[in-house]
């Protein structure tokens, strides 16, 4: 695998992660509602999900994934249901003074991680993306462990950086709001975005 090919993958993958979609909507909505605490676990779920799809694509296991369609459908709806749960909590949350470091105790890192992991595994589009992009970087039939690890390392850097930038932007916007009524409106707006992301995932 050439350095040029790896750079092409890095650029296209970054654009894919940054493009508006259910994942970005979920990250932004949750950060607007709860701040930055829990964001690493939430982002980690997206990363592990992408790595799973990348591994399936790189090792030629796409056909096996297709045979497990029912399982992925169940995971998809579980992820959508989790987003709807978060949307409900946001909608019913009272307007409170901003506590950037705060997050409700019930949203444990494990729950956040599993929620975003379910969202990613329930969406086979990332595997299609990797199947389309990887041949431009390396011949899958001759993929070496070194090339596999290099691509995985790029993903492990690019996805957290891109989604982390969304989190920081959302937290900064949240800091500007001090009025309880404005916070309540923002919470409900975030809840609407989160619910929309859930519907988009369920219909995909």
pLDDT level of residue 11 (50, 70, 90 thresholds): confident
Of 174, 192, 183, nearest to 39 (Cα)?
Answer: 174
Report yes or no: 90 and 191 within 8 Å, Cβ to Cβ: yes
Q: What is the pLDDT of residue 99?
A: 43
54 three-state secondary structure:
helix
Cα–Cα distance, 151 to 127 (Å, whole number): 14
Q: Which two three-digit tokens encode residue 49?
A: 């999900």
What does the pLDDT look like over 172-196, one tens digit per residue? Answer: 877 766 556 666 666 677 677 667 7
What does the pLDDT look like over 93-138, one tens digit per residue? Answer: 655 544 433 344 456 888 889 888 887 887 767 777 777 777 767 7
Overall average pLDDT of the 146-161 stretch: 92
Q: What is the pLDDT of residue 101?
A: 38
Angle at which helices 22-34 and 69-92 pack, to 10 degrees?
30
Cα–Cα distance, 179 to 134 (Å, whole number): 48
Total domain count, the chain: 1
pLDDT level of residue 158 (50, 70, 90 thresholds): very high
Of 44, 32, 62, nearest to 168 (Cα)?
Answer: 32
Domain extent at residue 103: 3-203
Say which residues have a Cβ less than 8 Å from residue 189's Cβ, sequence separation at least 6: 32
């Amino acid at each position: 695998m050439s350095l040029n090919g790896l750079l092409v993958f890095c650029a296209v993958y970054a654009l894919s992660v940054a493009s508006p979609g259910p994942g970005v909507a979920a990250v932004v909505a949750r950060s607007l509602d709860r701040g930055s605490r829990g964001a690493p676990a939430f982002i980690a779920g997206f990363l592990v999900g992408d790595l799973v799809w990348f591994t399936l694509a790189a090792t030629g296991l796409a056909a096996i994934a297709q045979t497990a369609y029912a399982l992925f459908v169940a995971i998809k709806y579980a992820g959508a249901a989790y987003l709807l749960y978060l949307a409900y909590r946001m909608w019913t949350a009272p307007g409170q003074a901003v506590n950037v470091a705060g997050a409700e105790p019930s949203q444990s890192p494990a729950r956040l991680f599993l929620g975003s992991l379910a969202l990613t595994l329930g969406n086979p589009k990332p595997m299609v993306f990797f199947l389309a992009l990887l041949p431009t970087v390396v011949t899958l039939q001759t993929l070496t462990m070194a090339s596999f690890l290099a691509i995985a390392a790029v993903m492990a850097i690019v996805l957290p950086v891109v989604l982390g930038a969304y989190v920081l932007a959302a937290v900064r916007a949240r800091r500007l709001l001090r009025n309880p009524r404005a916070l309540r409106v923002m919470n409900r707006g975030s809840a609407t975005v989160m619910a929309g992301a859930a519907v988009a995932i369920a219909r995909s």
